[in-house]
Structure 1
Amino acid sequence: MALAVLLAGGRALADQRDARLPDLFAQLLGASDIGTAQAVEARIWSLWYEHDDNAIVLLMHQARAAMARQDHGSALRSLDQVVKIAPDFAEGWNARATLYYLMGRHADSLADIERTLALEPRHFGALSGRGLVYLALEKWELALGSFEAALAVNPQMPGARLNAEAIRKTLRDREI
């Protein structure tokens, strides 16, 4: 799905400023089941991926393809260009944060996550990603706070829910 959105390109500006997002986030909060939530989530992601500059769309596609091949160097070169050319494009920062996480560059990942969240505070992917970084750093309370923040925006996120539950159990076990 994301690949199709990236390849389409040439649309009117969407990304994190799209006027359709507030309604979609309201639907996400009100979703009573995971299937409905995932359908709304997919629509949100598709808007986040959109950009009016075809060069950005192409660079994002190249970065995702390089990441799929585990060619982190090529992916990083593409994403560095994205954030340089389009510093207000939240998904560029989020994609690079994800790449940094995969590369084990946790401080860089956190910095890009914070930039993502400054542009799009509702970015449940970045909030959950921040939780994963803090998990890797064994900063349990910060990880839990991040997963809970993601769930406050997207209550049906199974990964964030499972991680939050596991951290709560770990913290309880440490108290005993």
Structure 2
Amino acid sequence: MRILGFADTQGILVYVMVNFTSHLKHAVAAFVLTLCLSLPQSGAAQDSETVPQDLAGMMQQLRDAEADAAGSIADRIRREWDKSGSASADFLLRRGEDALESGEYEQAIDHLTALTDHAPDFAAGWALRARTFFEMDQYGRAIGDLEHVIALNPQHFDALMGLAIMLDEMQRPEDAYEAYMQVKAIHPHQAGLSEALERLEREVLGREI
């Protein structure tokens, strides 16, 4: 199986913006619903002996987890992704999130643009701004920010899942299948993944045979 790289995602995103404008709303809606999962869910923290504190350990545990444990591990990873290491960046991220949740989209964009300018290597800022642009019906900008998320964090399973959904909506089953398989290698129990792979597997593998 050919693994999609950053060059592939760049080409795909340009292709979407140029050739599939009329189909973007449904595709990007699905992408944003997935990307929204990157916002950590509230809940009790697990015991430190159960979930490793380092990100690499958590990613390994996510790959190996049973379905009933995977969701809480994924949320811990998302919380780690939301830590920039900079107090000012963390503040801007939370201000942007609060504004977005309040429906104050222009204010959210102001905070998140300040964040991406201040910390361009912080993937969570681009991810949240992509969600905000979608809410404002600015689909091209949302997709452009997704490009940054994947470039900065190739293991961002939510962004990869969003890309897979978009390719699926565009009726590009081979590319969608590859992207879904990338998600499976990172987060095998990602919501909706098994159903998507099962649906595409016969079509894609049947063509290869």
Whether 2:84 is the aligned partner of 1:64: answer: no
Within 2, Cα distance between the matches of 1:145 and 1:111?
21
What TM-score comes out, normalization by structure 2 length? 0.63
* Residues 53, 68 of structure 1: alpha-carbon distance in 2 compared, 3 angstrom cutoff: same
8 Å Cα contact 1:110-1:133 kept in structure 2: no
Cα distance, 1:3–1:38 mapped onto 2, change above 3 Å: closer
Unaligned runs of 5+ in 2: 1-38, 43-52
Do structure 1's residue 76 and structure 2's residue 109 form an aligned pair?
Answer: yes
Pairing partner for 2:83 from 50, 57, 62 = 50
Distance in 1 of aligned mates of 2:197 and 2:129: 24
- What TM-score do you get using the length of structure 1 for normalisation? 0.73
**SS, match of residue 158 in structure 1:** coil
Match of 1:9 in 2: none
Verify the 8 A CA contact 2:41 2:75 in the aligned structure 1.
no
Q: Is the 8 A contact 1:94 1:113 kept in 2?
A: yes
2:94 paired with 1:23? no
Aligned to 2:9: none
Q: 1:96 Cα deviation (Å)? A: 1.4
Equivalent residue pairs, number: 156
* Contact 1:3/1:61 (8 A) holds in 2: no
Contact 1:101-1:133 at 8 Å conserved across structures: no
Q: CA deviation at 1:120?
A: 1.0
- CA positional deviation for 1:106: 2.9
5 Å matches for 1:9-158? 20-31=54-65, 33-134=66-167, 138-141=170-173, 142-158=175-191
- Structure with more contact order per residue of length (Cα contacts < 8 Å, sep ≥ 6): 2
Q: What value does the CA root-mean-square deviation take over the aligned residues? A: 2.8
Distance 2:80 2:147 in 1: 20
Gap regions ≥5 residues in structure 1: 5-18
